Amino acid sequence: MSLPLNIDLQQIFLHMLNFVILVGGLYFILYSPVKKFMDQRAARYAAMDKAAAEKLAQAEQLAAGHPAQVDKLDDELRERRAESQKIAQAAAQQQLDRAQEQADQIIAAARKSAESIRAKALADSRKELKELAVAAAEKLALSSSQDAFDAFLDLAEEGKQNEQHA
């Protein structure tokens, strides 16, 4: 069948049928898998968005509870510092007490030592004075007064000579 202007209807129908087959084939081969991939991708991103929103909500809840926990930890830290300071002060006081006791013991020992040295020095000086007095008394008793005067003059002369030489 041929129409005027050389238009063949059969050729038109065949081209239309080829076009429909081409469109259907391309739909099943290309469009359908691409659409399925895009839907899966959209679903995955939606799930990721939902998970992110849930995590954000959890983070906000944690952040809301965080100041309370920080305050609690600060209070606990203050208590521990106070306990540590008390312990340190007690230890320092014990050390001061021990040091004071040692100082008292050292002072007492030094006083005893000084007292014994003083007593010994006093006894030694008394003994020496007694010996000198006895020696002087013996010299006076044994020698005459003239001999003593002569000895004094001799000593005086020796002293003058020593002064002149010096």
Q: How many angstroms separate the Cα of 164 from the Cα of each of 70, 154, 155, 160, 161? A: 97, 16, 14, 6, 5
Give a yes or no: residue 104 inside a domain.
yes
Give a yes or no: residue 26 inside a domain.
yes
The DSSP code for 92 is H
Q: What is the largest CA-CA distance in the chain?
A: 194
Residues 3 and 9 sit within 8 Å (Cβ to Cβ) = yes
Residues 41 and 47 sit within 8 Å (Cβ to Cβ) = no
Q: How many other CB atoms are there within 10 angstroms of residue 17's CB atom?
A: 10
Give a yes or no: residue 21 inside a domain.
yes
Give a yes or no: residue 98 inside a domain.
yes
| pLDDT attached to residue 74 | 87
For residue 2, what are the β-bridge partners?
8
User: Which residues of the chain are under the pLDDT cut of 70?
Assistant: 1-4, 140-149, 163, 165-166
Closest CA to 76 of 84, 64, 65, 87: 84
Give a yes or no: residue 166 inside a domain.
no
Give a yes or no: residue 117 inside a domain.
yes
| pLDDT attached to residue 39 | 95
| pLDDT attached to residue 141 | 66
Domain that holds residue 10: 2-160
Residues 1 and 10 sit within 8 Å (Cβ to Cβ) = yes
Report the domain count for the chain. 1
Give a yes or no: residue 165 inside a domain.
no
* This prediction's pTM: 0.36
Query: Which tokens is 104 given?
Result: 């008292």
Cβ neighbors of 143 (< 8 A, separation 6 or more) are 151
- Rounded Cα distance, 106 and 152, in Å: 52
Give a yes or no: residue 41 inside a domain.
yes
